[in-house]
Amino acid sequence: MPEPTLPSPAALDPADSTPLKASLAPERGLQTGEYLTSGQGVRLPDTDHSLKAGTRGPTLMEDFHLREKITHFDHERIPERVVHARGTGAYGVFTAYGNAASITRAGFLAEKNKQTEVFVRFSTVLGSRGSADTVRDTRGFATKFYTDEGNFDLVGNNMPVFFIQDGIKFPDLIHAAKWHPDREIPQAQTAHDTFWDFVSLHTEATHHVMWAMSDRAIPRSYRTMEGFGVHTFRLVNAAGETALVKFHWKPVAGVHSLAWEEAQIAAGVDPDFHRRDLTDSIDAGLFFEYELGVQVMPDTPDETFQGIDLLDPTKIVPEELAPVQPIGKLVLNRNTDNFHAETEQIAFHMGNLVPGIEVTNDPLLQARLFSYLDTQLSRLGGPNFNQLPINRPHAPVNDNLRDGMHQSVVHRGIAPYLPTSLGNGAAPEATPPDKGAYVHLPKPVKGEKIRENPASYADHYSQAALFYHSLSPVEQEHMVEAFTFELGKCYETPIRERMLTVLAKVDAGLTAKVAAGLGLPAPQDTTPAEVVPSPALAQVTDRVWPITGRIVGVIAGPGADLDGIDSLRTAMKAHGVVLRVIAPIGGILDGKEIVERTFQTARSVEFDAIVIAGGAGKLVDLQATVLLQEAFRHAKAIGAWGDGEQLLLTAGIDPAAPGILRSADAGKAYAEQLAAALGKHRAWERMPLLKPAAS
């Protein structure tokens, strides 16, 4: 059995770490021909007027251009994903540290410095394609690795557990969580009766519900979000030894979330908040980075680790028991050219495995193995979607799959079958041991046919309590507010009451606060579980994180210190931070073209910090006041130099409050103070001031 502790990752050789070139899609590119043509290549003289019998006459059927143009348009959409419909994606490069060779023979993980092109699609789960990005929801984090040995898909989420233990419940869960079928509302929300009805009755959902009510459900950016494979996978090394692992994506920028009010404002003022952040950042060269890590557990016959059932997807293995060991790095560095062709048509499937990676008997994972291909057959219109450029493997494909709708390959040869004596059409099998074939582990399978869970699956509360007790006080407070908000949106009192009885089994204090917020009595029969917290689960800690891609708004007006703005911009750029000047009127300020937002177009949610330039202290503007007050409420860093702090007073903000950075000028020392404040994500020390008066 391989060692659970991997060798430390050796430093990557920078010479070998240059980004891969785009290798996909021969069809990529502009239509560069000389003239407009029809789909048949016939040159067209006029695409503005249809062919009619006289200027006032009826349109003629004969107009092939009109018919083709309208017909194709009529069929431009494909069905949206039944879940995870709203998403965005980017290409990147994965580089292996090489230390995973002791646990897997998968080349893209085992070979040091090996680079593999990937495509990642991030998504929300519940909303339709056009819904807002910043809703409270689980996020999908799906990665396709185009490895030399075939495609491997890691189709994970940003939460490590799931609502159900058996895939057969998935349609029930989604029917309850999505909109009500009579009116198709609410959109992209769990704050409604059917969701809370289901999860209060189906209590194995409790652990995931805790995550969904935590700040993890409203990430600041896909850059600051963890990813989890959720299920336990089985890795196989070159010697045939196995280990059970859980996959983790750790964001280099740390885990950071929006404030709930910010998320709600952003959903209105910029529904594309996360999508824009990803694509703008890549355009600016401020790439998103994550480390891939594994928790390695011995492959014991009972498939448990320290009493935790590794086949139960409602359970985590705390990092304190099995550390997450980094095995490679992902850099997302290239935007798509065509959303439909790439992001919309990509098809992930956890059955896309490469030698060295196997699935386990987790009943949720097993059901997924069926569902993804099945749904893609109708979503992408037939069995040939693997030929779409975005889905095409980079490894050679010699399948004997033929014909079907949308076949785009002209297969040659007369013998697409095996065995054959004719050759010329079918490649031979990659017979083991040495041809790199995917050989399933010969694990014995036995058991009686039953519809039953293992006894260990009955514990629905201990890890929900573990999660709650591992959070920092400010995160716990946010969770109280989230439960109170969501349950407060339910119309049915019995549902709220039932959910309180579920929460009572998690934590009495949490239940009492939520009950008080709902104006309901807290259940008395509380039996919360005893737990040992896992500090690794808290996202608000003393750590300071890299600030690449963060955005600082600078309020300026006529007479503002433009040299100061320039030097702040230069200093922040060195940290990968973008500076945006906000002024009363757009365009040119005091002769310089530096204004990117006006008070009318700017909203606080798009900035991680707001600074008032010297010389702008006397501005009087209601929108600027709102901007500053929101930034204050959301515990963002706020700064002012020179007379800038006068504007704080105008906005009713105490310049001496925590997290307010004041300075005589915008020199280097000031920029470093601002960078340090951003690295803490928020001015957490201001939080006590922000509580509602009643609490």
Residues binding ligand HDE (CB under 6 A): 81-84, 87, 121, 123, 140, 142, 155-157, 162, 167, 170, 230, 346-348, 364, 367-368, 371-372, 375-376
274, 281 contact by CB (below 8 A): no
Q: Give the span between the Cα atoms of 253 and 577, in whole angstroms.
A: 13
Closest contact distance (angstroms) between CB of 163 and ligand HDE is 8
Closest contact distance (angstroms) between CB of 650 and ligand HDE is 46
- The one catalytic residue in 65, 84, 248, 634 is 84
Q: What are the DSSP E strand ranges found in 345-417?
A: 357-358
Q: What is the 3-state secondary structure (H, E, C) of 404-461?
A: CCCCCCCCCCCCCCCCCCCCCCCCCCCCCCCCCCCCCCCCCCCCCCCCCCCHHHHCCC
Closest contact distance (angstroms) between CB of 87 and ligand HDE is 5
User: 246 vs 329, which CB is nearer to ligand HDE?
Assistant: 246
Tell me the Ramachandran region of residue 659: left when phi exceeds 0, alpha when psi lies from -120 to 50, beta otherwise: left
Whether residue 368 is annotated as binding a ligand: the answer is: yes
User: What are the residues facing 609 on neighbouring strands?
Assistant: 552, 637
- The rounded radius of gyration (Å) of the Cα atoms in the chain is 28
User: 333 vs 375, which CB is nearer to ligand HDE?
Assistant: 375
Whether residue 35 is annotated as binding a ligand: the answer is: no
Q: Alpha-carbon torsion 543, 544, 550, 556, what sign?
A: positive
Give which of 269, 271, 282, 248 is closest to 92, Cα–Cα.
282
- Per the annotation, the verdict on 157 as an active-site residue is yes
- The one catalytic residue in 65, 99, 151, 157 is 157
Q: Is 323 helix (H, G, I), strand (E, B) or coil?
A: coil
User: 142 vs 579, which CB is nearer to ligand HDE?
Assistant: 142
Closest contact distance (angstroms) between CB of 345 and ligand HDE is 10
Closest contact distance (angstroms) between CB of 84 and ligand HDE is 3
Q: Give the span between the Cα atoms of 136 and 189, in whole angstroms.
A: 7
- Per the annotation, the verdict on 208 as an active-site residue is no
User: 339 vs 372, which CB is nearer to ligand HDE?
Assistant: 372
User: 116 vs 232, which CB is nearer to ligand HDE?
Assistant: 232
Whether residue 121 is annotated as binding a ligand: the answer is: yes
Closest contact distance (angstroms) between CB of 685 and ligand HDE is 36
Closest contact distance (angstroms) between CB of 134 and ligand HDE is 18
Q: What is the DSSP letter of 52?
A: B
Whether residue 379 is annotated as binding a ligand: the answer is: yes
Residues 6+ apart with CB under 8 A from 58: 52
User: DSSP letters along 58-70, please?
Assistant: PBPTT-HHHHHHH
Q: Give the span between the Cα atoms of 120 and 192, in whole angstroms.
A: 31
User: 98 vs 140, which CB is nearer to ligand HDE?
Assistant: 140
Q: What are the DSSP E strand ranges found in 471-606?
A: 551-555, 578-583, 587-589, 592-598
Q: Is 181 exposed, middle or buried (0-12, 13-18, 19+ CB in 10 A)?
A: exposed
Question: Taking CB positions, which residue lies at the least distance from ligand HDE?
Answer: 140
Six-digit token pair at 77?
């959409």
Whether residue 402 is annotated as binding a ligand: the answer is: no
685, 659 contact by CB (below 8 A): yes
Whether residue 496 is annotated as binding a ligand: the answer is: no
User: 227 vs 564, which CB is nearer to ligand HDE?
Assistant: 227
- What is the C-alpha end-to-end distance of the chain, expressed in Å? 54
Give me the residue label for tokens 């994506």.
Answer: 249
Annotated binding site for heme: 81, 121, 170, 368, 372, 379
Annotated binding site: 81, 121, 170, 368, 372, 379
Point out the residues that are catalytic. Answer: 84, 157
